[in-house]
Amino acid sequence: MAHPRLRPIALSLLFAFSTAQAQESTLSAVNVTAKGYSASDIETPISTTSLNRAELERRGGQNLGDALRGEPGIAISNDSAQGQNPVIRGLGKDSVVLLVDGMRFNSAQPAGAIASFMSLGFAERVEVVKGGASVLYGTGAIGGAINVLLPQARFVPGFGLEAAASYDSASQGLRGTAVVNASAGDHALMVGASLANIDDYKAPDGTVPRTGYDSSAFIGQYRFRIDAQQQLRLSLQQHKDEDVWYPGSTRLHPTNPATRSTTVHSPEQTRRLAELGYSRKGSGEAPLNLDLRVYHQEMERQIYANANWLNRDIVTNDVTFKTNGFDAKADWLVHPQHLISFGLNAWEMTGNPDRYQAAPPTFTSFSANNPFQNASIKALGFYAQDDMRFGKLNLLAALRYDAVKSGADSMNNGARKTGLDGSDSAVSGSLGAIYEVAPLFRPYASYARAFRAPGMRERYESGLRGDGYYYAGSPEVEAEKADQFEIGIKGANVTVDYGISAFFNQIDNYLSGQILSGSTAIAACGAANAANCKKTVNLGSATIKGLEAHARWQVVSGHWLSAGYSRIRGTNDDFNEPLFQMPADEISLGWLGNILPGVKADFTLRLVDDQDRVATQFTKGSENPTAGFVTADLGATWQIDKRNSLRVAVKNLADKAYHEHLTEGLSGYEIEAPGRSLQLAWRGSF
């Protein structure tokens, strides 16, 4: 369902905002992820998105991907209700660095969403940097970075409790979160818990099986104030999901494709993190701020393949990905016109899958089938950045060097033990400028050089997997290098906030999993597995370009209109065809306004175009077009008093049957999105 008439209307509205003039003081969101410290968005020559707690609650997102759905430049790739991965400007989970409180999540992720290893109920803020962000965050940030900011222990004397609870009718889902803060003298303590019980959700065409799961999360932080400038902190986090299925992973089994299939699921998966940190806040005319941390993180996963015709598992895989890391960063106002920041990041991730696979035809005899053994990735990077201010001109320049090394004892169930060491190094950089012609007219331009070293699975995944493919190991693959150019306009005052940007991203050595056939498949996977052979390869290059726009306008006091637009085009330069899994064009329209004393109502409309620009040669016809759709959400929030609020909303008001183009699944059998759902939510503080 195409919407060509809506595109010029939305863009005309957005460009009209850019030419408006106003005398009011400028208001803008503050973002800590784009520059590494708090900075105003309209003084940053980079495209960003920030969602505060109020906006997260209004959207009623069930997880991070769900909360970001519909944002310009952001799409969602999902294989389940739990597994929803944000995609930034056409680049997915392997090309986006996910951070929680500035610490990166590390895991080789075969199914589900790494972004879901964190309860969104805790989130106080979500920040997105769109485009190459390797200069601050190292390998993997070709598409950008997402930082989820959780509660911190606060030096507020006494005891405080914040709590929230919600229900949605589509999944009969119940969620609850509570965070306690206690402080006395130079000591502050924060503890929190978040629980969720989710059933299979209902779509317009019926219940979607295997979409329910249970989740529990706990956080804690202790801070000790050494003096007015220095603090020590100890942070602990744990998140656990149970009985998670990924229906989008269902694949035909090669033994009998006509009647047999497998589906990946995780009986249990847990993330644990411990951080010890030190911070110092500078003072005087040239303050130097410093933050140091060491952390240890574990991602424990059970990744099983269920034979749907037997109703039992024929593949079991237990693996823990461990990361030890050290971060050091500082920012120094060395001169009123120069804010210098610099930092060092070092981490090592290890993984050792323990996988067993049953043999046909009876699938009762299990034997070891480990894709790799004792694999590791080590990364070391350091950067320097200068944030320069010359009157109304703001320049941002940064440079970084990274070295990444990888290795494994063996791959393909021990069949290969040599030639497994790899190393990549890269120089990343960024240069941007933004000029304030007027508060509502700030043109900017930026360039970013980014890179992504191959991940653990991309290098060493080898052997028959539960999805039916035989994966050929690829220890020889090289790092991606990307150059992104962006131009845009930003502006904000008390009645208007908008941004328009156009970008071009050229990625060399583009990494992707390619289905092989013929002699190439025989050489990579052997004759016995040539019919279902897949391998990670480097393409010569891929090109992604696009246009994004967003705007908010207070038409009358207390009533805001909003609009967003996203258009992305990707090209596989080697095959001269559309790049695999590019999101559809999209327009969003919204209204937020006061309707009664203490009551605000809101309405959101998503108009998503047909997506028929699909890869055919590269995917061997496995990517199919997706029909367009329109969805509407309606809600109201009642601020009962200063401490309590109640929200009622209806998602997918018209009970529209649809799925996003990036939904995983066999062509024509992708899982439907949830249908009409009543949401009730309460938040209070004591």
Residue pLDDT, tens place only, 611-665: 999 988 887 777 889 999 999 999 999 999 999 999 999 999 999 999 999 998 8
User: What digits encode the pLDDT tens for the residues 103-160?
Assistant: 998 777 666 667 778 888 999 999 999 999 999 999 999 999 999 999 999 999 999 9
Strands 533-556 and 470-472 come out as parallel
Its pTM stands at 0.93
Tokens matching residue 49 = 């998105």
631: nearest Cα among 50, 70, 191, 104: 70
Q: What is the dihedral of CA 142, 147, 148, 151, to 10 degrees?
A: 160
346 class by beta-carbon count within 10 Å (0-12 exposed, 13-18 middle, 19+ buried): middle
Report pLDDT for 12: 41
Report pLDDT for 110: 65
Confidence of residue 62 (pLDDT cuts 50, 70, 90): confident
Report pLDDT for 13: 40
Report pLDDT for 468: 62
Give exposure, 599-633, as e/b (b: 16+ Cβ within 10 Å).
ebbbebbbbbbbbebbbeebbeeebbebbbbebbb
363: nearest Cα among 455, 466, 432, 288: 466
pLDDT greater at residue 82 or residue 329:
329
In whole angstroms, what is the distance from residue 637 CA to residue 592 CA? Answer: 10
Q: Say what percent of the chain tops pLDDT 90.
A: 71
Give the E-state strand segments of 480-532 in sequence order.
480-492, 496-516
Q: Above 50 in pLDDT, residue 334?
A: yes
Q: What 3-state DSSP class applies to 122?
A: helix
Residue 132 belongs to some domain of the structure:
yes
Tokens matching residue 77 = 């790739």
In whole angstroms, what is the distance from residue 236 CA to residue 233 CA? Answer: 10
Residue 499 belongs to some domain of the structure:
yes
Cα-based angle 287, 150, 679 (whole degrees, multiple of 5): 145
From the CB of residue 124, how many other CB atoms can be counted at a distance below 10 Å? 14
Q: Above 50 in pLDDT, residue 18?
A: no
Residue 326 belongs to some domain of the structure:
yes
Q: Say what percent of the chain tops pLDDT 70.
A: 94
User: What digits encode the pLDDT tens for the residues 475-519?
Assistant: 999 999 999 999 999 999 999 999 999 999 999 999 888 888 888
In whole angstroms, what is the distance from residue 264 CA to residue 254 CA? Answer: 16
In whole angstroms, what is the distance from residue 345 CA to residue 422 CA? Answer: 20
541: nearest Cα among 73, 88, 142: 142
In whole angstroms, what is the distance from residue 101 CA to residue 114 CA? Answer: 15
In whole angstroms, what is the distance from residue 401 CA to residue 134 CA? Answer: 10
Q: What 3-state DSSP class applies to 136?
A: helix
Q: Are 392 and 435 in contact (CB under 8 A)?
A: yes
Residue 517 Cα distances to 468, 514, 529, 539, angstroms: 15, 10, 10, 17
User: What digits encode the pLDDT tens for the residues 161-174?
Assistant: 999 999 999 999 99
Residue 47 belongs to some domain of the structure:
yes
From the CB of residue 171, how many other CB atoms can be counted at a distance below 10 Å? 23
> What is the domain range of residue 621?
6-151+186-685
Q: Above 80 in pLDDT, residue 241?
A: yes
Report pLDDT for 139: 94
Give me the chain's average pLDDT, please.
Answer: 90
Residue 163 belongs to some domain of the structure:
no
pLDDT greater at residue 371 or residue 18:
371
Tokens matching residue 579 = 């790049």
673: nearest Cα among 646, 648, 654: 654
Residue 158 belongs to some domain of the structure:
no
* CA 382 to chain CA mean position, Å: 24
Domain count, the chain: 1
Read off the pLDDT of each residue in 337-354 and give the average, rounded to a whole number: 95
Q: Above 90 in pLDDT, residue 3?
A: no
Read off the pLDDT of each residue in 304-330 and give the average, rounded to a whole number: 93
Q: What is the DSSP letter of 584?
A: P
pLDDT greater at residue 258 or residue 315:
315
Report pLDDT for 256: 64
User: The domain that contains 504 carries what CATH number?
Assistant: 2.40.170.20
Tokens matching residue 51 = 């969602």
User: HSE of 661 in the Cβ direction (CA atoms, 13 Å)?
Assistant: 27
DSSP 10-47: HHHHHHHHHH----SPP---EESTTTSS-EEGGG-SSE
Q: Are 135 and 483 in contact (CB under 8 A)?
A: no
Judged by average pLDDT, the poorest of 54-68, 255-269, 418-432, 440-454 is 255-269
User: What digits encode the pLDDT tens for the residues 562-595?
Assistant: 999 999 999 999 999 999 999 999 999 999 999 9
